[in-house]
Amino acid sequence: MMSIWKRAEYRMGTCRERLILALLCIALAACGGGNGGGAPAPVVSYTVGGVVTGLSGSGLILQNNGGDNVAVSSSGAYTFANALRNGAAYSVTVASQPAAPAQNCVVTNGSGTISGANVVNVTVVCTVVPFTVLTNQPPEVGYLTLLLTDGSVMMQSSNDASVFYNLMPAADGGYVNGTWRKLASPPVGYAPVDGAQVVLADGRVLFVGGEYNQNQYQLPFAPSGLTNMSAVYDPTADSWTMIAPPPGVAYIGDSPSAVLPDGSFVFGRKLGRDMWRLDPVSLTWSSLPATGKADDFAEEGWTLLPSGELFTIDVGTPPHAEHYDPVAAQWYSDGNTPMGLTSPTSTPGGLTYGPAPLEVVGGVTYGPGPTGTYFPPGEIGPALLLPDGRVFATGAAGSGTVAHTALYTPSATPGGAGSFTAGPDFANGDDAGDASGALLPSGHVLIATGSGRFYEFDGATMPVTGVLTNNTGFAAYFILPLPNGQALVTGGVTQVYAGAGSPDPAWAPTITAVPSSVTRGSSYVISGTQFNGLSQAAAVNDENNAATNYPLVRITNAASGHVVYARTHGHSSMGVATGSTPVSTNFDVPAGAETGASALSVVANGIASAPVTVTVN
């Protein structure tokens, strides 16, 4: 039973509640509330959107305020489905980046507050991500790489110069999912670093000299330094053969070199002005006249021209440039570059070398060699022949100075002087001294500088298109053109670089004769034009050059889409930009190639010919 006091409290509470209810009704009526005040005012809302540009991949998803998603499949306008009230905040981000090709999309004007109008200025700019990390990394970090004629890559370990690995492309013909295997090591005593190396016309790989040897890295040089040893590696036998040194040459080191159009290898001795030619069949040396050379060959690089001549910018007598005519066996002056492209010496007092010991390596006797002092003249960057016939030369620079570039146009006559124009400069603090460079299928030149920045020269400008860790300033990245149009980047985490743009169809090889039916395990001749590409396509300067001016044969099975590369050998020419001159090579159909209808292409410098149909039996 409720007490009298409880009843009084109940009645008072009920009265208070009625009074509050009455006051609320009055307030609602004053505000137009209630059924008699008319319809409520409409809520105004606004959309958020903008424009996407540069999208070529798939899978781009944009997100607003952490929850409202819109999938974008192509460049153009987009709008989020959920509208926002006036005064509401918006924040547009990329929830999922595009793939195939991988792209990086960046939002501009992505956040703000709705101010009485639709938002239409949130722009999204998509660019292709240049670097893709290999799924299968090599067993250890490497630097120097060479493209073998079966489409695989030979890589030297950075930890032990006697160790080499082989990267084999995946079934799609690419390298991101490629696999690695270990190759045979050179005979004990020869582990060259920073020497000359080339892929010969028969598919073997030649190593000549080396600034350092036997994993002995020191300055002044160890007795093993500036070695005069050489060897040839046979990929089919996975074996090495040592080569006797040129007569009377006690030191070779890191000397400029090239393969001439006739397939012979030539180098200029680092410590002098004499030149030597190696016969690739007999593996014997002969002396070449070098009349007219303006300075020693130290630190300079050679660029093979369409005429078969060799172009260089002197490091000993900068800014002078010159070219060598193998037919006349004569060096001719090209005058001076528009500005200096060399850095000053860092060791004006010189570096001692020797005495090279007497030793037998792989059955060949080397040494002894005398002591001496080498005076380094400075450094310079790589110089690469462009598809238009000019040479893009990059420069080194001293501390606090700007590094330049130049463009060289060869003379129409062998003995005539070429001409120069100035190219773009590198960013302050960057230079291309001892840097790796490669010609991309687009005709652009990619340069990896010591800062970790990758510059791409497009014929007029040279923007930075990618950045990797600079490894404390050491120029640790090496670039190798691949037959699928990408470039392999080694020196840290191994990855591939995909540049923008595409080749001019006129740059591609053409096939004029090939059998319509081929059998696995058999060898065939293929003929056509421009099998060697338009350039050596890869360079450093005096060392670690990895030219790719030779043909590869790619076979793609029509049913599966799987790709194999047929090992090529016996190239009729090792020139560049051979034009309409008929050329040929031999190719071996892999025993593991899939049978059936297939498309066959010749690839040079990453540019493929139009395919022809063949049947693989």
Q: Using one digit for the tens of pLDDT, what is the confidence trace for 499-543? A: 888 999 999 999 999 999 999 999 999 999 999 999 999 999 999
- The predicted pLDDT at position 396 comes to 96
Report residue 38's pLDDT band, with 50, 70 and 90 as the boundaries.
Answer: low
pLDDT in tens, 178-196: 999 999 999 999 999 999 9
- The predicted pLDDT at position 1 comes to 38
- The predicted pLDDT at position 10 comes to 35
- The predicted pLDDT at position 13 comes to 42
- The predicted pLDDT at position 39 comes to 65
- The predicted pLDDT at position 140 comes to 95
- The predicted pLDDT at position 5 comes to 32
Report residue 41's pLDDT band, with 50, 70 and 90 as the boundaries.
Answer: low
Q: From residue 350, how far is each of 43, 220, 221, 372, 377 by CA, in Å? A: 82, 8, 11, 10, 9
- The residue written with tokens 């060479």 in the block is 146
Report residue 129's pLDDT band, with 50, 70 and 90 as the boundaries.
Answer: confident
Q: Quick one: 22 exposed, middle or buried, by C-beta within 10 A (0-12, 13-18, 19+)?
A: exposed
Q: Above 90 in pLDDT, residue 37?
A: no
CA–CA distance, 186 with 361 (Å, rounded to integer): 9
Query: Mean pLDDT, to the nearest integer, of 583-607?
Result: 98
Q: Above 90 in pLDDT, residue 36?
A: no
- Enumerate the H helices of 228-375 as residue ranges: none
Q: Above 50 in pLDDT, residue 208?
A: yes
pLDDT in tens, 431-480: 999 999 999 999 999 999 988 899 999 999 999 998 888 655 454 799 99
Query: Mean pLDDT, to the nearest integer, of 60-80?
Result: 96
Q: What is the DSSP string of 477-488?
A: -EEEE-TTS-EE
Here the tokens at position 318 are 């900068």
Q: Would the CA dihedral through 534, 539, 542, 544 be positive or negative?
A: negative
pLDDT in tens, 569-579: 999 999 999 99
Report residue 429's pLDDT band, with 50, 70 and 90 as the boundaries.
Answer: confident
Q: Above 50 in pLDDT, residue 28?
A: no
- The predicted pLDDT at position 96 comes to 92
With beta carbons less than 8 A apart as the criterion, state whether 45 and 84 touch: yes
| Mean model confidence pLDDT for the chain | 92
With beta carbons less than 8 A apart as the criterion, state whether 604 and 586 touch: no
- The predicted pLDDT at position 476 comes to 78
Q: Above 50 in pLDDT, residue 25?
A: no
Q: Which of 9-23, 97-111, 187-201, 385-399 has the lowest mean pLDDT?
A: 9-23
Report residue 341's pLDDT band, with 50, 70 and 90 as the boundaries.
Answer: very high
Query: Mean pLDDT, to the nearest integer, of 580-607?
Result: 98
Burial 473-511 (b: 16+ CB within 10 A, else e): eebbbbbbbbbbbbbbbbbbebbbbbbbeebeeebbbeb
Partner residues linked to 489 by β-bridges: 479, 495
Q: From residue 200, how far is each of 81, 228, 241, 328 by CA, in Å? A: 62, 19, 14, 24
- The predicted pLDDT at position 7 comes to 32
CA–CA distance, 221 with 615 (Å, rounded to integer): 56
Q: Above 60 in pLDDT, residue 33?
A: no
Q: Which of these, 502, 503, 422, lies nearest to 460 by C-alpha position?
A: 422
- The predicted pLDDT at position 229 comes to 98
Q: Above 60 in pLDDT, residue 307?
A: yes
With beta carbons less than 8 A apart as the criterion, state whether 312 and 303 touch: yes
CA–CA distance, 95 with 321 (Å, rounded to integer): 53
Rg for the chain, CA atoms, rounded: 33
Percent of the chain surpassing pLDDT 90: 85
